[in-house]
Amino acid sequence: MSKWNYTVKPEDAGYTVKDILRSHFSFSSRMMTRFKLNDCITLNGEAVKVNTETAPGDVVCVSLPDERSHFDPENIPIQPVYEDDDILIIDKPAGFVVHPTKGHPAHTIANGLARYIENTGQSFKIRFVNRLDMDTSGLLVIAKNAFCQECIAKQARESKVVKKYIAVVCGVISDDTGLIDAPIGRPDPEKAARGVTASGHPSATRFTVLERFRNATLVELRLETGRTHQIRVHMSHIGHPVTGDRLYGGENVLLIERQALHACFISFIHPVNGGLIEVSAKTPDDILGLIEKLR
């Protein structure tokens, strides 16, 4: 069970429970409504209304009930790179969908997490903060409660979450750095492919060249927005599709069997303790092998 406590200080005199929660925890209106409906708020151990006045020394507590996901546990590889009571960050391998869909009802990362939760004796609902395509590897953030999920999502909307990727793309990029600012939409609602369209959502990707090869380029990419397939669409749009990307023109089975795209870094502010979380994931062997081939 996730729990937050706050001991009322003299300078909080006259504050209601609601004032305390808003001032010291920054809960959203939606979260506050959820707390009230589920009797999650106590004052000195007793359930109270949020308009109850507090006094110095009182302890305001918010307790979220245990929640569970109902994915079938499967032996899918889960590689934690950071974990505490509120957040889990894993290094997702390529080849797995994040959560079940109509086309992939099982054998997903969510199924692997269900087994991981069992094996580690935990109990929490799986709440994905970000998403990675099936054939993209790298850092995947899972919140262990609704508050953390909402807080990190809010940071992302405010461009306070830093996400970096590395990719090997087709062709030689001449500029050392650049910004791809092009709206992304869905040209055909019946198809999965996205594209740059005038009516699309604003989308921006920054790139930095790390190394040039004869017919390819190793780049670091930083997302300023988080659209579906954003990096893949943007790199294809400028004529440098990600190597191995069958959907957007970079297919090359002789070099690599999936798109050479890896989420290598993420940072954000921890929703509970306020500390800076910075996590990196090493480059996977297949991309390292591709780089060696190109050299």
Spatial separation of the C-alpha atoms in residues 245 and 248, rounded to whole Å: 6
Among residues 18, 80, 8, 78, which one has the least CA distance to residue 48? 18
Given the residues 133, 135, 245, 286, the one annotated as active site:
133
Spatial separation of the C-alpha atoms in residues 122 and 116, rounded to whole Å: 9
Spatial separation of the C-alpha atoms in residues 115 and 174, rounded to whole Å: 46
Is 133 an annotated catalytic residue?
Answer: yes
Q: Look up residue 105 and give its two tokens.
A: 């009802």
Spatial separation of the C-alpha atoms in residues 250 and 3, rounded to whole Å: 48
Q: What is the DSSP string of 221-282?
A: EEESS--TTHHHHHHHHTT-PBTT-TTTT---TTT-SS--EEEEEEEEE-TTT-PEEEEE-P
Among residues 141, 149, 156, which one has the least CA distance to residue 67? 149
Residue 169 parent element (H or E): strand 162-170
Q: Which residues are catalytic?
A: 133
